[in-house]
Amino acid sequence: MNRLILITFIAALALAPAAMAADNTPATAAAPAAAPAAAPAAPATPVEVIAPTSCERPQIEYDKDGILTKGKALQVKATAYQSCIDAYVAIQKEAAQEHYAAGDAAIHDYNAFVTDVNEANKKLREKVDKQAKDSN
């Protein structure tokens, strides 16, 4: 009986990626009757809402003929605007790297878990096979 439960659990792990919907949320599916009731998974930590840039975009001023006026003042403001945008982008890139690292760590943790389960299953198979051989 324990072997059946373990094999069912292993099969569920192997099929878990197929049970994900296109938007990476778990698809709803009925659990096998032989599978033990599992504790519900903790929800993923929600990602914070990313605030838009607070950099002030300079106004471009034209005269009545549609020709740019105050070019030197605009250049100073444009340089400040570019510096502000560069800083904003650097912060967003750093946050993206942190999110990527967190996801990567979760993947490594899951892979280690599956390796441990596979090792436990291998030991169980060896034990059952040895018992079957000894009983014959």
For 33-65, how does the pLDDT look when each residue is reduced to its tens digit (9 = 90+)?
455 556 666 656 666 788 999 999 999 999 999
* Least confident among 12-16, 87-91, 108-112: 12-16
Residue 111 belongs to what domain range? 2-30+69-135
pTM of the model: 0.52
Burial 82-119 (b: 16+ CB within 10 A, else e): eeeeeeeeeeeeeeeeeeeeeeeeeeeeeeeeeeeeee
Does some domain include residue 61?
no
36 is a domain residue: no
Give the number of domains in the chain.
1
- Both tokens of 68, joined, read 């740019």
Token pair, residue 99, equals 């999110």
pLDDT for residue 136 is more than 60: yes
Structural domain includes residue 62: no
Q: Are 69 and 63 in contact (CB under 8 A)?
A: yes
> Angle at CA 64, nearest 5°, toward 59 and 66?
60
Share the mean pLDDT of the chain: 79
C-beta of residue 8 within 8 angstroms of C-beta of residue 35: yes
Residue 127 half-sphere exposure toward CB, CA atoms < 13 A: 8
* pLDDT in the model for residue 135: 86
Residues above pLDDT 70, as percent of the chain: 65
